[in-house]
Amino acid sequence: MPDRNDSEPLYRQVYAHILEDLVSGVYKEGDLLPSEPQLQSIYSTSRITVRQAVSLLQEQGYVKKASGIGTIVVSTKRALQLDKIISFKEENRDKETNSKQISFSVHSPSPLIAGQLRIGRNVPVYDHERIRFVDGKPIGIQRVYVPEGLIILDEQLVSGPDFSLYETFQKKDIIVTDAIEEIEARNADERTANLLHLKKGAAILFLSRITFDQNRRPVEVAEIVYRADRYRYKVHLNNKDESDY
Protein backbone atom coordinates (compact mmCIF):
# COMPACT_ATOMS: atom_id res chain seq x y z
CA MET A 1 0.00 0.00 0.00
CA PRO A 2 1.19 3.58 -0.63
CA ASP A 3 2.92 5.23 2.32
CA ARG A 4 1.83 8.84 2.75
CA ASN A 5 4.89 9.52 4.90
CA ASP A 6 7.19 8.45 2.08
CA SER A 7 8.89 11.25 0.13
CA GLU A 8 8.08 9.42 -3.12
CA PRO A 9 4.91 10.87 -4.75
CA LEU A 10 1.81 8.72 -4.22
CA TYR A 11 1.24 8.18 -7.93
CA ARG A 12 4.76 6.78 -8.30
CA GLN A 13 4.15 4.43 -5.38
CA VAL A 14 0.93 3.18 -7.00
CA TYR A 15 2.77 2.89 -10.32
CA ALA A 16 5.49 0.80 -8.64
CA HIS A 17 2.92 -1.53 -7.04
CA ILE A 18 1.11 -2.12 -10.33
CA LEU A 19 4.39 -2.58 -12.19
CA GLU A 20 5.46 -5.22 -9.68
CA ASP A 21 2.18 -7.04 -10.31
CA LEU A 22 2.86 -6.89 -14.06
CA VAL A 23 6.42 -8.18 -13.79
CA SER A 24 5.56 -10.89 -11.25
CA GLY A 25 2.70 -12.26 -13.35
CA VAL A 26 -0.33 -11.13 -11.36
CA TYR A 27 -1.47 -9.44 -14.58
CA LYS A 28 -0.56 -11.08 -17.89
CA GLU A 29 -0.41 -9.67 -21.40
CA GLY A 30 -3.96 -9.21 -22.67
CA ASP A 31 -5.46 -8.90 -19.19
CA LEU A 32 -7.48 -5.90 -18.15
CA LEU A 33 -6.28 -3.83 -15.23
CA PRO A 34 -8.87 -3.13 -12.54
CA SER A 35 -11.01 -0.08 -13.28
CA GLU A 36 -10.12 3.33 -11.84
CA PRO A 37 -12.66 2.99 -8.98
CA GLN A 38 -11.29 -0.48 -8.21
CA LEU A 39 -7.70 0.79 -8.17
CA GLN A 40 -8.79 3.66 -5.92
CA SER A 41 -10.20 1.12 -3.49
CA ILE A 42 -7.19 -1.20 -3.71
CA TYR A 43 -4.67 1.57 -3.01
CA SER A 44 -6.90 3.84 -0.88
CA THR A 45 -6.07 6.86 -2.97
CA SER A 46 -7.69 9.43 -5.25
CA ARG A 47 -8.76 9.04 -8.88
CA ILE A 48 -6.19 11.65 -9.92
CA THR A 49 -3.39 9.63 -8.31
CA VAL A 50 -4.59 6.45 -10.03
CA ARG A 51 -4.83 8.20 -13.39
CA GLN A 52 -1.29 9.55 -13.06
CA ALA A 53 0.03 6.08 -12.21
CA VAL A 54 -1.76 4.40 -15.12
CA SER A 55 -0.72 7.18 -17.50
CA LEU A 56 2.92 6.57 -16.56
CA LEU A 57 2.48 2.85 -17.24
CA GLN A 58 0.92 3.70 -20.60
CA GLU A 59 3.71 6.14 -21.44
CA GLN A 60 6.28 3.41 -20.80
CA GLY A 61 4.47 0.89 -22.98
CA TYR A 62 3.12 -1.49 -20.35
CA VAL A 63 -0.58 -0.82 -20.89
CA LYS A 64 -2.91 0.84 -23.36
CA LYS A 65 -6.36 2.31 -22.94
CA ALA A 66 -9.12 0.97 -25.19
CA SER A 67 -12.33 2.98 -25.43
CA GLY A 68 -15.28 1.07 -24.06
CA ILE A 69 -13.07 -1.78 -22.86
CA GLY A 70 -10.63 -0.51 -20.25
CA THR A 71 -6.87 -0.57 -19.69
CA ILE A 72 -5.20 -3.55 -21.37
CA VAL A 73 -1.83 -5.02 -20.40
CA VAL A 74 0.40 -5.07 -23.51
CA SER A 75 3.76 -5.94 -21.96
CA THR A 76 5.00 -7.34 -18.66
CA LYS A 77 8.72 -6.84 -19.34
CA ARG A 78 10.66 -3.94 -17.92
CA ALA A 79 11.51 -1.27 -20.48
CA LEU A 80 15.07 -0.05 -20.85
CA GLN A 81 15.34 3.41 -22.36
CA LEU A 82 17.80 3.74 -25.24
CA ASP A 83 17.55 7.51 -25.55
CA LYS A 84 19.17 8.40 -22.23
CA ILE A 85 22.10 7.29 -20.10
CA ILE A 86 21.06 6.41 -16.57
CA SER A 87 22.55 4.35 -13.80
CA PHE A 88 21.22 0.94 -12.77
CA LYS A 89 19.77 2.44 -9.59
CA GLU A 90 17.96 5.19 -11.51
CA GLU A 91 16.68 2.68 -14.04
CA ASN A 92 15.11 0.64 -11.24
CA ARG A 93 14.44 3.35 -8.70
CA ASP A 94 11.02 1.93 -7.83
CA LYS A 95 12.56 -1.44 -6.92
CA GLU A 96 14.98 -2.91 -4.40
CA THR A 97 18.32 -3.29 -6.18
CA ASN A 98 21.65 -4.76 -5.21
CA SER A 99 24.73 -6.33 -6.78
CA LYS A 100 27.02 -9.25 -6.13
CA GLN A 101 30.64 -8.96 -7.16
CA ILE A 102 32.05 -11.71 -9.35
CA SER A 103 35.54 -10.37 -9.96
CA PHE A 104 37.74 -7.28 -9.85
CA SER A 105 41.21 -6.93 -11.36
CA VAL A 106 43.64 -4.53 -13.01
CA HIS A 107 45.35 -5.74 -16.17
CA SER A 108 46.40 -4.87 -19.70
CA PRO A 109 43.42 -4.58 -22.03
CA SER A 110 42.74 -6.86 -24.96
CA PRO A 111 43.24 -5.33 -28.41
CA LEU A 112 39.45 -4.89 -28.72
CA ILE A 113 39.01 -3.10 -25.37
CA ALA A 114 42.10 -0.94 -25.95
CA GLY A 115 40.72 0.12 -29.32
CA GLN A 116 37.29 0.92 -27.90
CA LEU A 117 38.83 3.03 -25.12
CA ARG A 118 41.39 4.60 -27.49
CA ILE A 119 44.31 3.68 -25.26
CA GLY A 120 47.52 1.74 -25.72
CA ARG A 121 47.73 -1.85 -24.58
CA ASN A 122 50.31 -0.76 -22.02
CA VAL A 123 47.65 1.30 -20.20
CA PRO A 124 46.05 -0.83 -17.43
CA VAL A 125 42.29 -1.04 -17.11
CA TYR A 126 39.99 -1.81 -14.20
CA ASP A 127 37.97 -4.92 -15.00
CA HIS A 128 34.90 -5.28 -12.80
CA GLU A 129 32.17 -7.91 -13.18
CA ARG A 130 29.04 -8.24 -11.06
CA ILE A 131 25.55 -9.71 -11.05
CA ARG A 132 22.66 -7.25 -10.85
CA PHE A 133 19.59 -8.10 -8.77
CA VAL A 134 16.12 -6.56 -8.74
CA ASP A 135 13.94 -7.52 -5.78
CA GLY A 136 16.31 -10.36 -4.97
CA LYS A 137 16.20 -11.92 -8.45
CA PRO A 138 19.25 -11.95 -10.79
CA ILE A 139 18.40 -10.02 -13.95
CA GLY A 140 21.77 -9.22 -15.50
CA ILE A 141 25.53 -9.58 -15.55
CA GLN A 142 27.62 -6.45 -16.05
CA ARG A 143 31.30 -6.34 -16.91
CA VAL A 144 32.92 -2.91 -17.06
CA TYR A 145 36.34 -1.75 -18.25
CA VAL A 146 37.69 1.68 -17.21
CA PRO A 147 41.18 3.13 -17.87
CA GLU A 148 43.13 3.08 -14.61
CA GLY A 149 44.27 6.70 -14.90
CA LEU A 150 40.77 8.19 -14.94
CA ILE A 151 39.69 7.36 -11.40
CA ILE A 152 40.90 5.32 -8.45
CA LEU A 153 39.04 2.08 -7.82
CA ASP A 154 39.75 -0.83 -5.53
CA GLU A 155 37.99 -4.07 -4.70
CA GLN A 156 36.61 -2.81 -1.40
CA LEU A 157 35.06 0.24 -3.07
CA VAL A 158 33.46 -1.53 -6.03
CA SER A 159 32.06 -4.33 -3.86
CA GLY A 160 30.23 -1.85 -1.61
CA PRO A 161 26.42 -1.84 -1.70
CA ASP A 162 26.24 1.84 -2.66
CA PHE A 163 28.97 1.87 -5.32
CA SER A 164 28.03 3.74 -8.50
CA LEU A 165 30.56 4.17 -11.30
CA TYR A 166 28.81 7.23 -12.70
CA GLU A 167 28.73 8.92 -9.29
CA THR A 168 32.46 8.18 -8.97
CA PHE A 169 33.00 9.80 -12.36
CA GLN A 170 31.08 12.90 -11.26
CA LYS A 171 33.30 13.33 -8.20
CA LYS A 172 36.24 13.63 -10.62
CA ASP A 173 34.34 16.10 -12.84
CA ILE A 174 33.91 13.46 -15.51
CA ILE A 175 30.46 14.04 -16.97
CA VAL A 176 28.95 11.19 -18.96
CA THR A 177 27.32 12.75 -22.02
CA ASP A 178 26.59 10.05 -24.58
CA ALA A 179 27.20 6.45 -25.53
CA ILE A 180 27.22 4.05 -28.44
CA GLU A 181 25.37 0.84 -27.71
CA GLU A 182 24.96 -2.33 -29.73
CA ILE A 183 22.39 -4.99 -28.87
CA GLU A 184 22.38 -8.64 -29.87
CA ALA A 185 20.05 -11.56 -29.26
CA ARG A 186 22.01 -14.50 -27.92
CA ASN A 187 21.56 -17.80 -26.12
CA ALA A 188 22.88 -18.28 -22.60
CA ASP A 189 25.98 -20.40 -22.23
CA GLU A 190 26.35 -22.63 -19.18
CA ARG A 191 28.06 -19.97 -17.02
CA THR A 192 25.52 -17.27 -17.84
CA ALA A 193 22.62 -19.66 -17.30
CA ASN A 194 23.91 -20.64 -13.87
CA LEU A 195 24.45 -17.03 -12.77
CA LEU A 196 21.03 -15.83 -13.98
CA HIS A 197 19.10 -18.96 -12.94
CA LEU A 198 18.22 -19.83 -16.52
CA LYS A 199 18.31 -22.96 -18.62
CA LYS A 200 21.32 -23.30 -20.90
CA GLY A 201 20.37 -21.93 -24.31
CA ALA A 202 17.71 -19.56 -22.95
CA ALA A 203 17.27 -16.26 -24.77
CA ILE A 204 19.32 -13.32 -23.46
CA LEU A 205 20.05 -9.76 -24.56
CA PHE A 206 23.72 -8.85 -24.94
CA LEU A 207 24.70 -5.18 -24.87
CA SER A 208 28.06 -3.69 -25.75
CA ARG A 209 28.40 -0.03 -24.80
CA ILE A 210 31.10 2.62 -25.14
CA THR A 211 30.44 5.65 -22.93
CA PHE A 212 31.91 9.11 -23.56
CA ASP A 213 32.52 12.15 -21.36
CA GLN A 214 32.10 15.85 -22.06
CA ASN A 215 35.36 15.86 -24.04
CA ARG A 216 34.25 12.97 -26.27
CA ARG A 217 36.73 10.71 -24.52
CA PRO A 218 35.78 7.05 -24.03
CA VAL A 219 35.60 6.48 -20.27
CA GLU A 220 33.90 3.10 -20.06
CA VAL A 221 33.33 -0.05 -22.04
CA ALA A 222 30.50 -2.17 -20.69
CA GLU A 223 29.38 -5.64 -21.66
CA ILE A 224 25.98 -6.44 -20.19
CA VAL A 225 23.77 -9.50 -20.37
CA TYR A 226 20.07 -9.26 -19.49
CA ARG A 227 17.45 -11.95 -19.13
CA ALA A 228 15.26 -11.63 -22.23
CA ASP A 229 12.21 -12.76 -20.26
CA ARG A 230 12.52 -9.79 -17.91
CA TYR A 231 13.49 -6.91 -20.22
CA ARG A 232 12.51 -5.25 -23.45
CA TYR A 233 13.95 -2.18 -25.14
CA LYS A 234 12.19 1.07 -25.84
CA VAL A 235 13.65 3.86 -27.95
CA HIS A 236 12.28 7.19 -29.13
CA LEU A 237 13.22 7.97 -32.73
CA ASN A 238 13.03 11.50 -34.08
CA ASN A 239 13.35 12.53 -37.72
CA LYS A 240 14.95 15.97 -37.60
CA ASP A 241 15.09 16.26 -41.39
CA GLU A 242 11.59 16.14 -42.81
CA SER A 243 12.79 16.81 -46.37
CA ASP A 244 12.77 13.07 -47.13
CA TYR A 245 9.00 12.87 -46.68
Domain co-membership, 64 together with 82: no
Domain co-membership, 85 together with 196: yes
Domain co-membership, 18 together with 84: no
Domain co-membership, 155 together with 222: yes
Domain co-membership, 62 together with 86: no
Q: What is the pLDDT of residue 214?
A: 86
Say if CB 176 and CB 213 are below 8 A apart: yes
Phi, psi of 89 (to 5 degrees): -65, -45
For 193-222, what is each residue's pLDDT tens digit?
A: 999 999 999 999 998 999 888 888 999 999
Q: Domain of 32? A: 10-73
Reading across the β-sheet that carries 218-227, which strands appear in turn?
A: 97-107, 125-134, 137-147, 218-227, 203-213, 176-187
pTM of the model: 0.63
Q: What is the pLDDT of residue 87?
A: 47
Domain co-membership, 32 together with 113: no
- CA gap 189, 199 in Å, rounded: 9
Say if CB 196 and CB 206 are below 8 A apart: no
Domain co-membership, 20 together with 64: yes
CATH number assigned to the domain comprising residue 42: 1.10.10.10
Q: What is the pLDDT of residue 222?
A: 93
Say if CB 126 and CB 104 are below 8 A apart: yes
CATH number assigned to the domain comprising residue 183: 3.40.1410.10
Domain co-membership, 179 together with 102: yes
For 149-201, what is each residue's pLDDT tens digit?
A: 899 888 888 888 778 888 888 888 888 888 888 889 999 999 999 999 999 99
Q: Which of 58, 73, 88 delimits the end of a domain?
A: 73
Domain co-membership, 67 together with 85: no
Say if CB 54 and CB 61 are below 8 A apart: no
Work out the percent of the chain whose per-residue pLDDT is above 70.
Answer: 83
Least Cα distance to 127 among 111, 149, 145 occurs for 145
For 32-75, what is each residue's pLDDT tens digit?
A: 999 999 999 999 999 999 999 999 888 877 888 888 889 998 87
**Is the predicted pLDDT of residue 106 greater than 80, yes or no?**
yes
